[in-house]
A and B are shown apart, each in its own frame.
Chain A
């Protein structure tokens, strides 16, 4: 009963088993790769080879027309969770110097008193992405854009490193103890809104989603309204626009108040 006699053309079992298996594969392959593609009425193939490639899943461009280009700038920044992870001291130092031009609006330690967004302790990747978008024109703001356009790539990296390095200071007017709105912890499944906390921290943080606690209510409200109206459209794959469009004005107000009132230390929202 050695293996040799099994793998032999004189072994009927071997011939039969291999024959049936190969036959079945060929049959299913012919049906799946040739017969079924041609059975689709709405597709025309240039050749049988074309049909096989299509059914095998080779990427193909079916239309010769150029893809429709949007009439506005789209964000082209690729955000990954580990980007700008370990900044050098030198980079942080350079960022601190550069940040002096930003201090009038974003505050000397990255905490603003003028409803400009707080930057202290913000994720480096989030700051970097926004600066890139301001520079490219994917995000537009009459006050902020002029300050971003002159920044070099290295400037943006350094500024992001510096602000991310700053401690998250208490917000200007914290008013604690409010229960988290349902939309923050649960989202609204029937409207396809995932819990805000599942991207923005508290439940979980997903790369590219900025940290919101302690941001001024006016700023959060404006941003959500801008996402909803399409005035701001630099969010990749419409992550925020799809959400903001589905939110009611009351909900926007509620989350703005809630996030504004949250102490910056709070990383995990309580479930109540």
Chain B
């Protein structure tokens, strides 16, 4: 039951529209700092583009996908018309207006501070205000998801909440709490300085606040992907989910442990004590758990489905999977990228190994592989799966869809593997310019060139993606039937209250935030003379 089709379509179109633009910027960035192009001579253009690329890809695009998909889940999984559709539109417009508000100063070169803000760099206040509007818009979605679930639970006492909605709401709560760190940084630290009310800023404290957001935001991006693994993939390959409670456990673990670990982004920061860095590092190790659970459950799901289709042998069953199905393909490619990205992540999270790759291109390679690769390829899959139900027209070209997914996978591997490699060689990230004629950098030239070609392949893939969606507009009307999510082999009949609600897990998430962040934040707040003069960018002051 999808009543709010226009609402959901609007989210997806805006998401992929801005994604397409930001992707072009990304490819341009790869190009201009590679040996393929003589230096553009103005680093400001590079950082301007980088700020726009990061802001759109990090804040606007995934938030819109999570929201659009979230509304679809709420209607389809609960079989209940969306409550608060007007509010949902308000949230959508807040995001649209916020994105434009943020992008105007960025394109004018008044806020080239990168999407991670990096105080004491301070840009035009409208940039930050735009970002705040985007976050506020998404908080409306959080509230609506919670309300819709609440109403459903009231009408269906004792019934298990459908897994898709359980996960969706877990993701929304995770986002609500995780965004608080950056919101505190923006509202109490950066925006007053950007408006000229203060001229100094505690950059160390700001970085701690940002780390509160920066790790878990990745899990907010990831949740739609995991929802697709658990509730779209099994149905798409003609099977059933191996274990429903295992899925719940995975999302619960994300909720609890993806937040109190962000200081692993600040291992090189002097303002945080080594003891807390260790605590965060140790908790980071725990986020591998939900992913390992997921890989197990989804592989088991695939195996059961394959054996039902006649697959035999310890590995022979893999052949029996419906490989021509785009969702099958996307999930498999996503797993491969998740595997490599996860392995690299083990190095980032280790307090000691981190020093070898800190602030190098390795990190850029890592998060593009996980987010741009494993996560975004499932956004495509979700779109393909949902689209006929939104437009009432079939997606006709399965081959084009497969080609698009393969290109995305190949492009992402070609982009990020050399990136990791030059990172190990010590190439720093966030640099606009490299002098490849220097003997110290000449060895990187080949890898950087390859990586740039990976970027072009990604652009080609995105063109195919839009071609698929545009073809759909011309396809004949077709009744796609009811949109449904995968069922489990043993669908839960009753569930313990903790697996059917979020309260306990939210309490633990907040509790761990207090234990893991409370002291570092308090200590920076009470230590005098920790602020430094703001460095305004862009405008000549």
Interface size on B, residues (CB 8 A): 59
Can you spell out 9 A-B residue pairs with CB atoms less than 8 angstroms apart? A1-B153, A1-B158, A3-B501, A14-B498, A56-B273, A56-B276, A81-B534, A85-B196, A207-B533
Docked pose: A140 CA to B2 CA in angstroms: 77
Docked pose: A187 CA to B536 CA in angstroms: 20
Instruction: Kindly identify, within residues 501 to 538 of chain B, every residue whose CB is under 8 Å from any CB belonging to chain A.
Output: 501, 503-505, 507-508, 511-512, 515-516, 519-520, 523, 527, 533-538
A111 shortest CB reach to chain B, Å: 20
* Residues in B neighbouring A189, C-beta threshold 8 A: 431, 433-435
Interface check A141, CB cutoff 8 A:
no
B49 shortest CB reach to chain A, Å: 14
> Provided the pairs A32-B282, A186-B43, A190-B438 are in contact, do residues A7 and B504 lie with their beta carbons within 8 angstroms?
yes
The interface of chain A, by Cβ under 8 A from chain B, is 1-3, 5-7, 11, 13-14, 17-18, 21, 24-25, 28-29, 31-33, 36-37, 52, 54-59, 78-83, 85, 123, 182, 185-186, 189-190, 195, 198, 201, 203-207, 267, 271-272
* Residues in A neighbouring B272, C-beta threshold 8 A: 57
Select A17's contact among B440, B441, B504, beta carbons within 8 Å.
B504
Q: Which of B34-42, B125-133, B368-376, B480-488 contacts A (4 or more CB under 8 A)?
A: B34-42
Select A32's contact among B278, B497, B536, beta carbons within 8 Å.
B278
A210 shortest CB reach to chain B, Å: 12
* Residues in B neighbouring A3, C-beta threshold 8 A: 497, 501, 503
Cβ B497 vs Cβ A59 within 8 A: no
Docked pose: A189 CA to B431 CA in angstroms: 10
> Provided the pairs A14-B504, A203-B43 are in contact, do residues A54 and B273 lie with their beta carbons within 8 angstroms?
yes
Closest 7 CB pairs of A and B: A57-B273, A55-B275, A32-B278, A80-B199, A271-B41, A32-B275, A33-B275
Docked pose: A18 CA to B515 CA in angstroms: 13
Contacts A1-B497, A198-B44 known; 15 new A-B pairs at CB < 8 A? A6-B501, A7-B503, A11-B498, A13-B497, A14-B498, A36-B274, A58-B273, A58-B523, A81-B122, A186-B43, A190-B440, A190-B441, A195-B43, A207-B535, A267-B540
B220 shortest CB reach to chain A, Å: 21
* Residues in B neighbouring A5, C-beta threshold 8 A: 497
Q: In the complex, what residue of chain A is closest to B269 when comparing beta carbons? A: A57
- Which of A29, A82, A195 has the largest count of B CB atoms less than 10 A from its CB? A82
Interface check B500, CB cutoff 8 A:
yes
* Residues in A neighbouring B276, C-beta threshold 8 A: 32, 55-57
Cβ B540 vs Cβ A6 within 8 A: no
Select A204's contact among B44, B275, B519, beta carbons within 8 Å.
B44
Cβ A56 vs Cβ B440 within 8 A: no
A50 shortest CB reach to chain B, Å: 13
* Residues in A neighbouring B538, C-beta threshold 8 A: 204
Docked pose: A190 CA to B437 CA in angstroms: 10
Cβ A31 vs Cβ B508 within 8 A: no
Cβ B275 vs Cβ A1 within 8 A: no
Cβ A17 vs Cβ B508 within 8 A: yes
Q: In the complex, what residue of chain B is closest to A27 when comparing beta carbons? A: B282
Docked pose: A5 CA to B440 CA in angstroms: 64
Instruction: Kindly identify, within residues 273 to 296 of chain B, every residue whose CB is under 8 Å from any CB belonging to chain A.
Output: 273-279, 282-283, 286
> Provided the pairs A56-B275, A81-B534 are in contact, do residues A1 and B501 lie with their beta carbons within 8 angstroms?
yes
B509 shortest CB reach to chain A, Å: 10
Select A57's contact among B41, B275, B516, beta carbons within 8 Å.
B275
Docked pose: A33 CA to B282 CA in angstroms: 13
Q: In the complex, what residue of chain B is closest to A123 when comparing beta carbons? A: B541
Instruction: Kindly identify, within residues 187 to 234 of chain B, every residue whose CB is under 8 Å from any CB belonging to chain A.
Output: 196, 199-200
Cβ A25 vs Cβ B41 within 8 A: no
Cβ A206 vs Cβ B540 within 8 A: no
A132 shortest CB reach to chain B, Å: 15
> Provided the pairs A21-B512, A52-B275, A55-B274 are in contact, do residues A6 and B41 lie with their beta carbons within 8 angstroms?
no
Docked pose: A189 CA to B541 CA in angstroms: 26
A85 shortest CB reach to chain B, Å: 8
Docked pose: A201 CA to B435 CA in angstroms: 23
